[in-house]
Amino acid sequence: MTVSVTREGAVLTLRLDRPEKKNALTQAMYRALSEGLRTAEADPEVRVVLLAGGMDFTAGNDIADFAARKEEGPSEAFHFLETLVGFAKPVVAAVRGHAVGIGTTLLLHCDVVVASEAARLMMPFTKLGLVPEAGSSMLLARRVGAARARWWLLSGTPISGHEAAEAGLVTRAVPDDAVEEEARAVAQLLAALPPGSMAETKRLVLAAEKEALETAMRAERESFGRMLRGEEAQAIFREFLNRSG
């Protein structure tokens, strides 16, 4: 299994587990994540979801999957994002190592993100001949200001966990060996608070950005699909895959 699902008390942990590929996300992994979230939402015993990886959070979408994608309909990544964006219960993320592409943009939809100071967050969309997704073309500027958002999105330059915390892209950065413990403590803290108030608070927070987010995600989706199938991106994917042998 490349995504493990475990429950400890009221906290359900979804853990990416494909270390040999730095947790690059396949269609099956997105499906497992979506299912895990749906299960968590339906189970009254679950109050908080903890999303984690291992030494790396994730190297982003599997590039072989990107290269193979021909159909125009919504992808598993899209379904996963839709589920995460509207998710009613708090989501805490624990981020170590690389968090690439969707590995960074999905963090914009988590409620608390605990990152390693040494984590490397990247949104290399332009380097791949792609465009931002997960609403990041709009949300990132709201979180970190327009200047940083434009630089990070246009250049794809890596961002350390420390820098991400200073900018407000993640909630806090801690030493690498403290990430898991800190994230679990945050999840347990949230799980112990009154669930009705938690649900209502999250509903209000989501509602505040809902329309702008939907508009941004619709535009991104159209553009992403077109760019993904374009020659510019496909040539870059081939180069990456040949490099990997």
Which one, 87 or 224, has the nearer CB to ligand COA?
224
The Cα angle at residue 90 between residues 53 and 24, in degrees rounded to 5: 25
Q: Which of 37, 29, 95 is nearest to 65 (CA)?
A: 29
Phi, psi of 181 (to 5 degrees): -65, -45
Minimum distance, C-beta of residue 196 to ligand COA, in the bound complex (Å):
38
Which phi-psi region, left, alpha or beta, contains residue 133 (left: φ > 0; alpha: ψ -120 to 50)?
A: beta
CB atoms within 10 A of CB 208: 10
Residue 49 in contact with residue 12, Cβ under 8 Å?
yes
The Cα angle at residue 126 between residues 83 and 234, in degrees rounded to 5: 85
Minimum distance, C-beta of residue 54 to ligand COA, in the bound complex (Å):
13
Which one, 92 or 100, has the nearer CB to ligand COA?
100
Minimum distance, C-beta of residue 209 to ligand COA, in the bound complex (Å):
23
Phi, psi of 241 (to 5 degrees): -70, -35
The b-or-e profile of 111-133 (16+ CB within 10 A means b, else e) is: bbbbbbbebbbbbbbeebbbbbb
Minimum distance, C-beta of residue 61 to ligand COA, in the bound complex (Å):
5
Which one, 129 or 195, has the nearer CB to ligand COA?
129
Give the residue closest to ligand COA by C-beta. 101
Residues in touch with ligand COA (CB under 6 A): 21-22, 24, 59-64, 98, 100-101, 124, 128, 244-245
Measured CA to CA, the distance from residue 140 to residue 171 in angstroms comes to 14
What 8-state DSSP symbol labels residue 54?
S
Minimum distance, C-beta of residue 188 to ligand COA, in the bound complex (Å):
30
Minimum distance, C-beta of residue 242 to ligand COA, in the bound complex (Å):
10
Which one, 98 or 109, has the nearer CB to ligand COA?
98
Which one, 15 or 184, has the nearer CB to ligand COA?
15
Which one, 11 or 134, has the nearer CB to ligand COA?
134
Which one, 13 or 61, has the nearer CB to ligand COA?
61
Alpha-carbon torsion 60, 66, 68, 72, what sign? positive
Minimum distance, C-beta of residue 130 to ligand COA, in the bound complex (Å):
6
